[in-house]
Structure 1
Amino acid sequence: MSKKTAQRRPKPKRNELTRKTPPWGGIIFFTCIGLIAVAAIGYAAWQARPVDTAGIDGLVETENLSRNHTPAAVSYPTNPPMGGDHDSQWQNCDGRVYDQALRNENAVHSLEHGAVWITYRPGLPAGQLDQLRDTVEKTDYTMLSPVPNQDSPVTLTAWGKQLKLQDAGDQRVSDFLRAFVKGPQTPEPGAACTGGKATP
């Protein structure tokens, strides 16, 4: 074969059927799985984060609260209660404002789900009540209701945690919500705050 003939030989054509391309479907799938795993680990770490409650002056804490379901009325040692045996149906706590007292046994179930229950003594000045309403309506996993016989104008309660305040404008309202709305004290993290009891 002459040098001239070798130069004229056409280059072999690329076979489109056997040409290798990156497996984009697999790459996208495993990237999504990785992102979901990172998000899940991050959420679990956030849930388990240590909460600095030292700055919440006046915080009362209790442990080893029972969690049995009962249809009966429960005699709680605190008013409002901080936990203990409760009704099988929770009180809706999706930023819900109630204008009447709640049944304790339903509200305690909401605390078990990670809710913060803000209560006020009837007669609280209108401006303070409006402030509490605004805070609750903007914050998921909270509920607001009056408690006729409570011994402080405003009380914030989470499962095993309670703070009594003289004024709704106290900075500790925000501190308590940041620490305990779906906080590490929650016995049933991820449980719903809707689909329960919608009326007082």
Structure 2
Amino acid sequence: MKRVYIPSSGPSAWQAFLAKPELHWRTGYSAKTLAYCWESAGGLPPEIARMFDAPAELLLALPEYKVPLPGGSTQSQADVFALVRHADQTCAAMVEGKVNEPFDKTVTEWLNVPSDGKKLRISHICNLLGLSEQHLPQVRYQLIHRAASAVIEALRFKTDEAAMIVHSFSPDRMWFQDFAAFVDLFGLTAEPNAGVVTTLPNGLKLRLGWATGDARFLLA
């Protein structure tokens, strides 16, 4: 993980950090849409700010942020890692940008070949989030490892809470039900454009939210 970061020169600077820069940087898709939205905001996009208690302030945003997880070399790579100050709290937030892209494999599909590394990783994630493996089979793996990465960084930065927020630009809210199923694991009910909060076994608060992005950035 790099420790030195260079200030952004604009939305196009985000492209270089993508896993496949030429393939993933396309108008109407999440990577480019998200970059133009966040750069245009000059702080937190208003729909993201509404996920937090007012007033909410962006302290730092890092695109394509990687967090190591045990059980292999593949890291959890968030579209945006944001340190947010809201009310009298600080939050380490992972933001997952979407247009119509799915959340990829379910936990069952990801564990199709259950290596020792995968078993170690899923056990670690469950311990962090206070979840039982038996409740995960049809939940999207991307959602649980992204939430776990938020918790890892919240503990590392010693923030008051962690957050995992889906920043969706889909006019039809595609894949919202997958997000709602994930939130249901914590005994909570997901609603578009509203944040919900749970307290993890280690006492850390975890904030989950689905924010609807401004559709004009789909044309960027």
Q: TM-score range by the shorter chain?
A: under 0.3
TM-score norm. by structure 2 comes to 0.23
Structure with greater proportional strand content: 2
Structure with greater proportional helix content: 2
Q: Determine which structure has more spread, i.e. the larger CA radius of gyration.
A: 1
TM-score norm. by structure 1 comes to 0.25
Q: Comparing both chains, which one has the higher relative contact order based on Cα–Cα distances under 8 Å and sequence gaps of 6 or more?
A: 1
